[in-house]
Amino acid sequence: MSSLKVTKNDQTPIAQSPSISDVASAVMAEQIQINFNCEEIGQQIIFTGNGIQSSPVPFQCNSVGSQNFNLRFTSNFESNTNRITISGFDNSGNPNSANSSFNLPIDTKNPVLSVQSTGSLNQGGNTEFQVLYEDLNLPASFDYTVTLTGAISDAINCLSNPCVIQHSMVQDSGILTLSVSANAVTDTVGNVSSTTAVNFNYNILPAPDINLVFYVQGATSLDLGIKTSNGKSWKVNWGDLSPIETFSSSDSLRYDHTFLTPFSGEISISVAWDSEISGTLSGLPSGSKFIEISGENTLSGNISTLPTGLENLDLSGNSNLSGNVNSLPAGLKILRVLGQNNIAGGISSLPTSVNSIEILGQNTISGLISQIPSSITEFTIKGVNTISGSTNDLSANVSVFSLGGDGSLVGSIANLPAQLRVLEIDRNNNITGTISELPSNLEVIHFQSTTITGNISGFPQSLRSIDLSGTPSITGNFLSLPTNLEKFRLNLTNASGSINSLPSTLKEFEVIG
Amino acid sequence: MLYDGSLVGTISDLPQELVRLSLLNNISISGNVIDLPRTLKTLSLIGFNNTVTGLISDLLPNLERLDLAGTNTVTGDFTELPKDITYLSLSAGINITASNTNWNRTNLNYRYLLIHPNIGLTTQAVDNILVMLSEITNWEGNKTVSLKFNNQGPSSVGLNARTVILSNGATTVNHN
């Protein structure tokens, strides 16, 4: 009686073998090479087990020693393991004394595809998609195509996993289809991801139009002209129930509208999101009480040419206004002008009606904190201003105090207005105190140069942004940072901690020293 | 005045919405760059206790500024760097090569480049980097290139490229 010795390499998954298509019953078969020893010529080896294409499969030894045999499996073999039993007879028909059995690991799983949007899905935004294949036996390299159609037209050759696809300033809205090519990925054992292209649809939401809103009082007629940067037309709702009209972009043509009766109310204009509007303040409709222009506009001119009855001016974009604050309309309540402005004058000349003022740019405004009109609750002036005073002099009504420039700001944190939400001082100051004395509702604190002290645990929990340069003396553990903090920038700190204790909302984290 | 604050931890524990991470001196950051938050645009890790590992090709594609110094083991080729980087400072623990000049860069702005690796760049690598930088047409900010330290000097190819870089707006291009 012969003994049967079988060895096998069951560490490697069975390879699919398209080359055996000559096997009549197999659409696609699995195949494994088995190695065993024949101990005498004529010895027969029989393989039994689930999924073996023809079972039992006799193998007859025609030589003594190590032999290889390709064992094939049917295409509908789906379990992850298969128990194979090998038995045998010697050349006299005596069975071997003991059968040999082992499990074969079978990988029949196709690579799994997922696509995730990790960016904006808004027109004008920055999209990002991650195309990811997952499988136990992914290949070492990738080379497939992702086609984008609809809101974006592109074809990306993906050579890595995940494949990151980015587009900035998406021009169109509507359905965006990511189509991952057929047969994109074949794993190391031959399983193919998908034999047809796989589509993923996303909806790119349209960007809102840029809006210009004028509030006029007792107007009998109005003429308007708008030149858009990309030549796109613009629409007007005159507010008097007359039909909305669409006009062409022009730097010379103006369009007249006559109101049947003196009109008081809003006139709204809309232009496409990717347009830019330019012009001078003198071109704004006279008689306007309220002017709001969103988007990337570039208005210029002297503030002395603003409509005299203006109460609210809100300009986004990159304005370039000049002039002295003493020429602002006397009844102005809200002034918000972004961009690179050059406005001068003394604080004491600000209209006493102003509630909120925000002027960005290189302004040169001077004066004392105590001269800020008591009507003001929000005060933001950037630039190279020279404003001095003590924290004692800030009105209790102030909730936003943001100042750029030099000056001599002194006092204690403890004297800041209790309802202060934003405190930003871009230049040197001599405001002292401990952080536990900060107003309890503070959301933003930014000192370009400071010597304030304290433990991190003393920061108000309401803070979203902390930016302290200079020589602050801050101790404690980052674990105690406000839980909704988004920005933390500290120069020269004694604070310590671990990354895993940082607030999950953090977007900027900078620690020097 | 002595400051003894510190920050320890691994990259994989960083907040996932982080856009800017800038840490200097007493920090001990470990982990693989492949685990950086995908939102990150500025990464500045300067401290000799850092043990960051990984491949340059695994850096985030939207990274705009990269400063790495420490006991890191980040390796790869210059051409594998993210295409939008405009500020690059790599020293101590960086093993970088520059095998060719095919960096396929569409962003032609640059601010600052310093590469002082432990294993110095070859003359060919220095030449390749200078040739690639000669494609930059808009230099901003520091406008400085430094390929000194233990790098080899450029050949005439690199020197010609250096002339172009300076004519395109860079103010300083240092090399051995």
**Whether B61 and A495 lie within 8 Å, measured CB to CB:** no
Judge whether A462 and A443 are in contact, CB under 8 Å.
yes
Pick the residue with more confidence: B44 or A82? B44
Please classify residue A453 by burial: count the beta carbons closer than 10 Å to its beta carbon, then call 0-12 exposed, 13-18 middle and 19+ buried. middle
A485 touches chain B (CB under 8 A): no
Mutate to test the interface with B, among A141, A158, A499, A512 (most CBs of B within 10 A): A499
Pure H helices in chain B: 123-133, 156-167
Give the model confidence (pLDDT) of B131-160 as tens digits.
999 999 999 988 999 998 889 999 999 999
Q: How far is CA A397 from the centre of its chain?
A: 36
The DSSP line for A196-235 is: S-EEEEEEEBPPPPEEEEEEEEEEEEEEE---BTT---EE
pLDDT tens, position by position, for chain A (513 residues)?
Answer: 334 444 433 333 333 322 222 222 222 335 666 777 777 787 777 777 766 766 556 777 888 877 777 777 664 444 445 567 777 777 777 777 666 666 666 667 788 899 989 888 999 888 989 899 988 778 888 999 999 999 999 999 998 888 889 888 888 899 999 999 999 999 887 889 999 999 999 999 988 887 788 888 888 888 787 877 788 888 999 999 899 999 888 777 777 889 989 999 888 888 888 887 778 888 787 778 888 888 778 889 999 999 888 999 999 888 999 999 999 999 999 999 999 999 999 999 999 999 999 999 999 999 999 999 999 999 999 998 888 999 999 999 999 999 988 778 889 999 999 999 999 988 777 888 999 999 999 999 998 878 888 999 999 999 999 998 877 788 888 899 999 999 998 876 678 888 888 999 999 998 876
* Nearest of A449, A509, A487 to residue B24 by alpha carbon: A509
Q: What is the token pair recorded at A5?
A: 């010795």
Q: How far is A46 from chain B (nearest CA, A)?
A: 50
Residue of A nearest to B6 (CA): A496
Give φ, ψ of A264 to 5 degrees: -125, 120
Angle, alpha carbons B29-B34-B39 (nearest 5°): 90
* pLDDT, average across residues B97-118: 88
Considering only the beta carbons, identify the residue of B9, B20, B24 that sits closest to A508: B20
Nearest one of B23, B48, B109 to A499, comparing CA atoms: B23
Residue with tokens 């003429």: A223
How far, in Å, CA of A299 to CA of A283, rounded?
A: 10
Q: Rounded distance, CA A440 to CA A422, Å?
A: 11
Minimal Cα–Cα distance from A349 to chain B, Å? 38
pLDDT (0 to 100) of residue A78? 44
Inter-chain CB proximity B29 and A499 less than 8 Å: yes
> Under a CB-based contact definition with an 8 Å cutoff, are residues A149 and A167 in contact?
no
Residues of A in Cβ contact (< 8 Å) with B11: 499
The backbone torsions φ and ψ at residue A274, rounded to the nearest 5 degrees and listed phi first, read -100, 15
Distance CA A169, CA A187 (A): 36
Please tell me the predicted confidence (pLDDT) of residue A31: 63
Report the alpha-carbon distance of residue A347 to residue B6 in Å, rounded: 44
Distance between CA atoms of residues A91 and A41, nearest Å: 7
Q: Is B83 helix (H, G, I), strand (E, B) or coil?
A: coil
Identify which of A499, A509, A513 has the shortest CB distance to residue B3: A513
- Please list, in sequence order, all residues whose beta carbon lies within 8 angstroms of the beta carbon of residue A86, skipping any fewer than 6 positions away: A4, A6, A34, A36, A45, A46, A47, A48, A99, A100, A101
What does the pLDDT read at residue A434?
93
Q: Indicate whether this model's pTM tops 0.80.
A: no
3-state secondary structure of A304: helix
DSSP B152: P
| CB nearest A496 (choices: B5, B13, B57) | B5
The sheet carrying A198-204 orders its strands as: A154-158, A144-150, A174-180, A198-204
Work out the pLDDT band at B55, boundaries 50, 70, 90: very high
Strand partners, A311: none
Alpha-carbon gap: B65 to the closest alpha carbon of chain A (Å): 13
**Helix then strand then coil, % of chain B, to nearest 5:** 20, 40, 40
Interface with chain A: mutation pick from B2, B6, B52, B67, highest number of A CBs within 10 Å: B6
Count, residues in chain A: 513
Q: Which residues of chain B lie closer than 8 angstroms to A508, CB-CB?
A: 18-21
A143 touches B: beta carbon within 8 Å: no
From residue A44, alpha-carbon distances to A2, A87, A300 in Å are 11, 8, 97
d(CA A363, CA A219): 34
A244 and A268 in contact (C-beta within 8 Å)? no
Neighbours of B135 (CB within 10 A): 15
Please list the alpha-helical segments (H only) found in A50-139.
none
* pLDDT, mean of residues B24-47: 86
List CB contacts (< 8 A) between A510 and chain B. 20-23, 44
DSSP for residue B161: H
- Complex ipTM > 0.90: no
Residue type, A184: A
